[in-house]
Structure 1
Amino acid sequence: MNREIELKLECEPEALDRVSRAPILARLKRGRASEKTLRSTYFDTEDFALMKSGLALRVREAGGKRIQTLKTESDGNGLASDRGEWEVQLGSDEEGPDLNRLPADMKARIRAAANGAPIAPRLMSDIHRTARQLMTPDGDEIEFAIDRGVLRANGREARVSEVELELKRGDPSSLYRLALELADMVPLRVGLRSKAERGVTLAGNEKPGAIRAETVSFDRTIDVEDAYATILGQCLTHLLLNEAVAIEHASTEALHQMRVALRRMRSAFAAFRKVMKDETAQQLSRDAKWLATAIGRARDFDVFITTILAPLEKEEPGDKQIAALREAAEKQRKRAWSGARAALRSARMSSFVLRLALYVDERGWREDGGDASRFEAPLFEFAPKALDKYLKDASRLGRRIDELSVDERHDLRKRLKKLRYTLSFFASLYRRPDTRSYLHALSELQDVFGALNDFESARKLTEELTGLRPSLSAPGARLIAYHERRARKQWQSAVGLWRDFRDIEPFWR
């Protein structure tokens, strides 16, 4: 078995020629570039049971040879995939894969996943690859490849326009460094999905959905540094898994999940700040805030139309003034989504993602020197201090809950959100029965504060829309009045929920 460590980067087809002329490639190249046509057939069950089990089985024709390859899911925590790979050359008369050429455990795993269902061709790829070998000054050997072509599955096609960086020998961080230099020339999106995984989506009849954050699970032996790296890596993966869905399918939920990923990321930077103490983390946090703001306007208009405007439309169907307000909102929503896509396709986004991946891979927080023992402290000793800080921050405002201004209510909401995200990072260190009621109460409180915040955001958007079109002032005033009545009731609910939450004993003490 070989290990394949690879970083996949996606870009527009017209940008590939610019990437191929990057000066760094001329400096690092060893030998001449090679070109070949790769025609691959991926085999699976009708419902893609192998892919769902983390297995990709293909037969590739290249240079007059037929190569059978089995790849497993990535074992790495970073953006670069780290997969098991088994290859064997087939005879010229062998059309399909030969499972008997695989190790016994892999053969058994395939048969268990298929569960008796026939394994047949499900996806075809036709790729023109230009590859060259590179060597960094530190001796890292990398294969740089440009792939142009098409995927075909279930009568559908999808374009392939990718750069692949495969580590042949050396440090995986060299892949990120090379990618950062390439991204200075062309905006590059990190691709987490393999061609086989893209084929599953292509073959399906449903659009890909938004991805929620996975639960963070730690045992009590983990130290602060490893927990920090795991959390940041998971936040970055959560962000990128939703990126393609948001861009390609204008998924409102995927865009929302991207904002959640960015908030969790910034909460992690803040929670670990006293331990890490590095300028890189502060800059990455600022970039995360920039991106959240850049895509936030689109999300605000999504909420305005679906949550704020829709209830009044339901109560007053056919109202022409409300319909005009929706038309104006939809127009601004379209512009906001255009701005969000531009941010997601920007060079700044590419740089942010790759710098964060490099920061995690290289443990960039160690660059400031100092006593490294602080990174080795047990997480279960660090967690209560971080949780106490956020609970105290929220409680300072909560003590005056009956007299808070609108801005202070918003501030209390943000403090509760930081507490909730930090709890999600550390909850696995504690017994589930101890955490369940606390987290449930905090979640209910957040939901009410979130609804109140949506209304305040909608108030500002309504003022913006009526400023652009004064004729919308009347329906805008009706919309605000309608939700002000609802907001008063929600605030009373928030006050009651806060008092209930305040009386629950923190489980980490």
Structure 2
Amino acid sequence: MDASSSADSVDREIELKLELDAAEVERLLEQLAPRGASAVPQTTVYYDTPAAVLRKHGFTLRVRQTRDRFVQTVKPTTDSAGLLSRAEYETEISSIDPDLAALSDSPLSHLVKDGQLDDLKAVTRSEVKRTSWVLEVGGSRIQADLDQGSIASHGHSQEFAELELELLSGDPACLLRAAKDVAERVPVRLGVLTKADRGALVGSGALRKIAKAAPVHVRDDMSIAEAFETILHACLKQYRRNEPLVLAKRKKDALHQARVAMRRLRSAFTLFKPAISDVEYQFLREELRWFSGQLGEARNLDVYLERELSDKDREALIVRRDQAYDHVLAAMDSQRFRLLLIELVGWAAFGTWRKTRNAAKPVEDYAAHRLNRLWSSIEHVGRHVADLDEETRHELRIQVKKMRYAIEFLRDLYPAATRAEKSFGGAVEDLQESLGKLNDLATARTLGVPQGDENWLIGSPDERPLIREAERAFNDLEGVGPFWREAHKADSGEA
């Protein structure tokens, strides 16, 4: 929220961001904005040094011009998606250029004093028309800001439209109610990028590229609730970064990464189940299962089309694959799914589970306990890969996948075990890949995919080397062992 006077102000903004297509802007205004609401031109410039000092220290610095008023704002960067809660430091200044003297009471004061911000330059520029109004929801007051315009960085630009809902007073959970009301009237999507994020991605060209899972920063000073919410936001951000590439271009690698993001999120639900299971938990889990199921056939057919096939078989599979993608796009575009993402961020922040004693406990002890449970589900079965039937092998693959994701989520809790963690993680990935290839052979038959020759058959020469690969990967895994146990003992002073 902008400062209302020339004095510095420090506040905590709580906002929820929604994205929409430009074609839906008029519909949103007609449905929600009061009569007489007018658009005001707004220019925002983000600054950093050539060495990206601000980004490396975890802050953004912007100056926003609205008519003849200039407000300079410092905010910490965030990994959150959709729902943001963070401190902001605002000062009214005299021009669009940053005023270093006005940063004396901000977290950047030491950087100014050391001369590290002497060479600030503009890195991102946003030009929008902003239409604003206030909503009354459940006794709470919410600022609605609809921005439509462009953002430019390093010679690249992008048109965008987004709606920011910011709590002015009252219950933060009312932001969720307001967002759901918008989503039921207009096809909006959960926004996962700040303007600073968007500018950086536009400038680097990354918005046009596939987004793999980014590192998840779960710290040892976090509670279980904070850790889970951090993981959930990371998964949603990965999904939403890939979704436009599926919707617009049907990119198969983007679909794969979107599916991975959903799998990771479902694994997080399982990993944290004892702490987060409340009245909404099962509903949300089943909705995630439903949506993940909509992506499966298209992804499987993409994989099988990479095999050597006759022209006739390939043509038939392409028709099936295109139909499967139609199904995927319909699910992604559905109101059911768009509302689900909003429900997820709201539940993670305000769900009844957060009021329980477990949610407030430190994540480190909990993580060690849950990793031990996962390891026990893998250890004994993994020693007998060659003797397993398809169903048991499939269950092992699922547990291995959960272990891989759990390690990726929690690795920052064990900095002293970096080498062992990397070895363990590599072996887990190898085992998952081998079991996945074995599963592909079995799945091909259930989908009626042309099998070509006997090498597709379970028990064939094509399967045996994969079993040997899986055995070697498990031996490597067992050789490293549960690295987190020693790391946890050392951190807790038990060693």
TM-score, length basis structure 1:
0.77
Instruction: Specify which of 72, 83, 90 is matched with residue 86 of structure 1.
Output: 90
Equivalent runs, 1:33-48 vs 2, <5 Å: 34-40=37-43, 42=45, 44=47
- Counterpart-to-counterpart distance in 2, 1:401 and 1:483: 13
Residue in 1 that maps onto 2:488: none
Preserved contact between residue 133 and residue 141 of structure 1 (Cα < 8 Å): yes
The SS at the match of 2:186 is coil
- Paired letter, 1:285: R
- SS of alignment partner, residue 129 of structure 2: strand
> Cα deviations across residues 75-117 of structure 1 (Å, max 9, x unaligned)?
5746323452434243xxx564444444476477589999876
Cα distance in 2 for partners of 1:453, 1:447 equals 10
Taking structure 1 as reference, are residues 131 and 396 closer, same or farther at Cα in structure 2, changes over 3 Å only?
A: same
- 2: distance between equivalents of 1:445 and 1:451? 10
1:271 and 1:118, CA in 2 relative to 1: closer, same or farther beyond 3 A? closer
- 1:358 is aligned to 2:360: no
Give the aligned residue type for 1:37. Answer: V
Letter in 2 for 1:341: L
Following superposition, the deviation at residue 261 of structure 1 comes to: 2.5
1:143 CA displacement: 0.9
Deviation at 1:361, TM superposition (A): 0.9
Percent identity of equivalent pairs: 29
1:269 shift after superposition: 2.0
Question: Does 1:210 pair with 2:211?
Answer: yes
Deviations 1:306-344 (A, max 9, x none): xx42xx4xxxxxxxx645544444444344334323322
The 5 A counterparts of 1:151-300 are: 151=151, 158-204=158-204, 207-219=208-220, 222-248=222-248, 250-300=250-300
Distance 2:395 2:437 in 1: 14
Instruction: Rate the CA distance shift 1:42–1:384 in 2: closer, same or farther, 3 A.
Output: closer
Cα pair 2:132 2:146 within 8 Å, conserved: yes
- 2:491 match: none
The residue correspondences of 1:7-406 to structure 2 (distance < 5 A) are 7-22=16-31, 34-40=37-43, 42=45, 44=47, 49=52, 52-53=55-56, 60-63=64-67, 65-75=68-78, 77=80, 79-83=82-86, 84-90=88-94, 96-103=97-104, 106=108, 109=111, 119-120=121-122, 123-125=125-127, 127-138=128-139, 140-151=140-151, 158-204=158-204, 207-219=208-220, 222-248=222-248, 250-305=250-305, 308-309=306-307, 312=308, 322-365=310-353, 372-395=356-379, 397-398=381-382, 400-406=384-390
* Aligned residue in 2 for 1:5: 14
Deviation at 1:449, TM superposition (A): 1.2
Following the alignment from structure 2 to structure 1, what is the Cα–Cα distance between the partners of residues 352 and 252? 34
Contact conserved, 2:82 with 2:193, CA < 8 A, in 1?
no
TM norm structure 2: 0.79
Provide the rounded CA distance (Å) in 2 between the counterparts of 1:50 and 1:504.
39
Secondary structure in structure 2 of the residue aligned to 1:6: strand
1:210 and 1:44, CA in 2 relative to 1: closer, same or farther beyond 3 A? same
> What displacement does 1:373 show?
3.7
**Paired position in structure 2 for 1:318:** none
Look up the equivalent residue of 1:348 and give its one-letter code. R
Q: 1:180–1:484: structure 2 CA closer, same or farther, 3 Å change rule?
A: farther
1:449 equivalenced with 2:435 (yes/no): yes
Q: Which residue is 1:489 aligned to?
A: 465
Q: 1:199 to 1:379 in 2, by over 3 A?
A: closer
- Alpha carbons of structure 1 residues 160 and 113: separation in structure 2 relative to 1, 3 Å: farther
| Cα distance in 2, alignment partners of residues 377 and 203 from structure 1 | 41
Paired residue type of 1:418:
K
Q: Which secondary structure state, in structure 2, belongs to the residue aligned with residue 215 of structure 1? A: coil
| Pair 422,480 (structure 1): closer, same or farther in 2 beyond 3 Å | same
- 2:462 is paired with a residue whose SS is helix
TM-superposition CA deviations, 1:426-472 (whole Å, max 9, x none): 454444155444333323211211222234344555x34x5xxxxxx
Q: 1:387 and 1:167 mapped to 2: Cα distance?
A: 38
Please give the alpha-carbon distance, in whole angstroms, between the structure 1 residues aligned to 2:188 and 2:385.
47
Relative to structure 1, the CA distance from residue 276 to residue 412 in structure 2 (aligned partners, 3 Å threshold; closer, same or farther) is: same
Residue type matched to 1:278 in 2? Answer: D
Say whether the 8 Å CA contact 1:33–1:130 is kept in structure 2.
no
The alpha carbon displacement at 1:189 in A equals 0.9
Q: Deviations over 1:336-382 (max 9, x none)?
A: 33432332232122211111111111143257xxxx44445554443
Aligned residues: 470
Asked if the contact 1:57–1:68 (Cα under 8 Å) also holds between the matched residues in 2, the reply is no
Contact 1:44 1:50 in 2 (8 A): no
Residues 223 and 333 of structure 1, relative CA distance in 2, 3 Å threshold: same
Q: Mind listing any 5+ residue stretches in structure 1 that lack a counterpart?
A: 313-320, 467-472
Instruction: Report what 1:470 is aligned to.
Output: none
1:19 to partner: Cα distance: 3.3
Letter matched to residue 22 of structure 2: P
Q: Shift of the alpha carbon at 1:154? A: 6.6
d(CA) in 1 for partners of 2:201, 2:80? 23
Q: Residue by residue, what CA displacement relative to the aligned partner does 1:402-449 show, whole Å, maximum 9, x if unpaired? A: 332223322221122123333444454444155444333323211211
The reply on whether 1:413 has 2:415 as its aligned counterpart is: no
- SS of alignment partner, residue 185 of structure 2: coil
In the alignment, which residue of structure 2 is the partner of 1:316?
none
- 1:353 alignment partner AA: L
Matches of 1:482 and 1:115 in 2, distance apart? 63
Q: Residues 284, 157 of structure 1: CA spacing in aligned structure 2 closer, same or farther, 3 A cutoff?
A: same
Shift in CA distance, 396/136, structure 1 to aligned 2, threshold 3 Å: same
Distance (whole Å) between structure 2 residues aligned to residue 193 and residue 244 of structure 1: 13
* Partner Cα distance (2:473, 2:61) in 1: 53
Where structure 2 has 5 or more consecutive residues not aligned to the other structure, the ranges are 1-9, 486-495
* Contact 2:216-2:408 at 8 Å conserved across structures: yes
Q: Structure 1: how far apart are the matches of 2:353 and 2:157?
A: 44
